[in-house]
Copies of this chain bind each other. A is one copy, B any other.
Amino acid sequence: MLRGIIRGNIVSTRKQEALIGSKFMEVELMKNGELTGDYLIAVDSVGAGIGETVLITTGSSARLALYNANAPCDAVIVGIVD
């Protein structure tokens, strides 16, 4: 998994039907607790907000965290770091 801080959200009105209702967050990745300047976009599954440090699962495993496991999604926020 990856760790990062949520920096913003992305709005997409015209999208795949299976993604309707998904909250897209842009996350700045960290390594060893320091920011890297790299970013990815993940769907939130735990009610995380901007500024929170989160855990992200990528790849096909990510879909297992979603209500709709057939959504075409490759990165999901699966936890908020204490």
> Could you list which residues of chain A lie within 8 angstroms of chain B, going by C-beta atoms?
1-3, 7, 10-16, 18-19, 24, 26, 28, 31-32, 37-43, 45-47, 55, 57-65, 70-76, 78-82
Contact = CB atoms under 8 A, between A and B. Distances in A.
Contacts of A38: 31
A29 to B, nearest CB: 10
Number of copies: 5
Given A2-B41, A73-B1, A12 B55 contact: yes
Contacts of A47: 14
Contact of A15 (B12, B31, B60, B79): B79
B57 A73 contact: yes
A18 B28 CA distance: 25
